[in-house]
Amino acid sequence: MDGASFAVSAALIASGLRGPAEGCPRPAAGSTGLRAYRRALGGGYPYVLASLLLLGICLVTMLAQGLDQGWSAVLLPAHVRDSLGGAPALGLIEALFSAGALAGALTYGAAGSRVRRWPL
């Protein structure tokens, strides 16, 4: 089942891919390696720091992921083991979180363009 879902996902992504636009400039083929990577990464930091929106997105994402990883990888399994009976309960909790995330994404996709950005 897992392999079939990956195959379906790959087919959906492949069907939606388009080539670069005709007038779109293509990046020059530069050197690849650690130095080129460091130079490109070093150029990205000032870009993110110059935009308060991008900086805010990065900081909120880092904070949320840091808190979520400790909770979902350590605290939730320990609580489920001690209080809720083990792995089936953890699976149910994770499935409900996934269903909530999917419902939220679908709702936002359907109604997000009708709501002002800042209150949302």
* Interval 4-60: pLDDT, tens: 999 999 998 888 777 666 656 666 666 678 888 888 888 888 888 999 999 999 999
Return the pLDDT at 106.
Answer: 93
d(CA 66, CA 45): 20
d(CA 43, CA 37): 10
Q: What is the DSSP letter of 78?
A: H
**Where in the sequence is the domain holding 39, given as residue range(s)?**
34-111
Q: What percent of the chain has pLDDT over 70?
A: 88
Indicate the number of domains in the chain: 1
14 part of a folded domain:
no
92 part of a folded domain:
yes
Q: Would the pLDDT of 84 be above 70? A: yes
Average pLDDT over residues 93-115: 91
118 part of a folded domain:
no
